[in-house]
Amino acid sequence: MTDIAIRLISPVDAAEMAALLRANREHLAPWDPLREESYYTTEGQWQIISDALRAGNALPHAIVEGGRIIGRVNLSNVVHGAFQSANLGYWVDASAAGRGVASTAVAAVVEAAFLTYGLHRVEAGTMLHNVRSQRVLERNGFVRFGMAPRYLKIAGDWQDHYLFQLLSENWLAAREGAV
């Protein structure tokens, strides 16, 4: 694997994110909600990124390869206190698909979730037929724990999703066993 890294995204990344999203619009369409045209603009991305950071309940990360953004991996709906949990979402540029980029980025954000952000649980959902994304999660130690009917409105239709989770103690035990 080449040098894949993650870093918190910033509003200064808006133009690069907008260009990447426009280039991948067709590639991402089957997996995304329907989007307003403004989503694909620099101004739209600046607003989305700024709002996410200001709200304080999201940790959006850029996936970077060779200094260039090639995707996003996000921790959203971050809740501290007794819950200490977040939802995980990710996507990669079409040219990066199938190269282990998503698996590497998910591993990095999971490590940050548990060691840096102090979370206890990370949850992710995939559409039932999204086997590639399910494999990314399973390679990173996520366990499927259920199915949510009509969970998210994707590509204009309510879609069933398998739900996966990873608990910090399971992640840590697997990590210690691998050392």
Calculate mean pLDDT across residues 105-115.
98
Q: Report H helices in 1-149.
A: 14-23, 25-28, 42-55, 101-111, 131-139
Given a cut of 70, whether residue 48 has pLDDT beyond it is yes
Looking at residue 177, what is its pLDDT? 83
Calculate mean pLDDT across residues 109-136.
97
Given a cut of 60, whether residue 1 has pLDDT beyond it is no
pTM of the model: 0.95
Given a cut of 70, whether residue 56 has pLDDT beyond it is yes
Domain 4-178: which topology?
Answer: Aminopeptidase (3.40.630)
CA 127, distance to chain mean position in Å, is 14
What is the pLDDT confidence band of residue 30, given thresholds at 50, 70 and 90? very high
Backbone φ and ψ for 22, nearest 5 degrees, come out as: -60, -45
Q: % helix / strand / coil in the chain, to the nearest 5?
A: 45, 35, 20
- Give 37's Cβ-side CA count (13 Å radius): 0
Given a cut of 90, whether residue 178 has pLDDT beyond it is no
CB 7 within 8 A of CB 61: yes
Model pLDDT for residues 72-89, shown as the tens digit of each residue: 999 999 999 999 999 999
Backbone φ and ψ for 147, nearest 5 degrees, come out as: -135, 130
Looking at residue 125, what is its pLDDT? 98
What is the pLDDT confidence band of residue 63, given thresholds at 50, 70 and 90? very high
Domain boundaries, the chain: 4-178
SS3 30: helix
Calculate mean pLDDT across residues 37-65.
96
Burial of 178 per CB tally in 10 Å (0-12, 13-18, 19+): exposed
